[in-house]
Amino acid sequence: MAKIATAKVSGSTLIEVVIATVIILVVFTLAIGIFTKVTQSGYSVSRTLAHQQMESIIDQSIRNQDYEDEVLEADSINYEKIVVLYSGYDDLLLLQVEASQGTTKIGKLRKIVRREEQ
């Protein structure tokens, strides 16, 4: 038969275990708080894609010399292009594109361009 071990094994006291548990809980609580702040304050993918689309709309308008107001929709995001004369200059235009999803504004992009005489 097998013998029963009677040797004393060293271990932690109850107070040491409780203190270690409290330290671990505090560290995890801080980590969760930091993670939440980082994910909420980060620049979202939809904003990045909307900004790229706004740049594309302005670049395409300049290439095609399409300086008319219009409203576009892509991926459930509305883009409103507004073209106005730049104040004080007859040959400059202010192109402004605003992106919104429902009632939430996602972003706005402005660019000043020289109007080509045709």
3-state SS string for 13-67: CHHHHHHHHHHHHHHHHHHHHHHHHHHHHCCCHHHHHHHHHHHHHHHHHHHHCCC
pTM listed for this prediction: 0.61
How far from the centroid of its chain's Cα atoms is residue 53's Cα? 15
Are the C-beta atoms of 54 and 107 separated by less than 8 Å? yes
pLDDT tens string for the chain (118 positions)?
667 777 776 777 899 999 999 999 999 999 999 999 888 776 777 888 889 999 999 999 989 988 899 999 988 889 999 999 988 888 899 999 999 988 889 899 999 998 876 5
Residue 103 to residue 43: CA distance in whole angstroms: 19
Which pLDDT score, from 0 to 100, does residue 99 have? 93
Question: 3-class SS at 20?
Answer: helix
Question: 3-class SS at 77?
Answer: strand
Which pLDDT score, from 0 to 100, does residue 15 have? 92
Within 8 A by CB and 6+ apart from 16, the residues are none
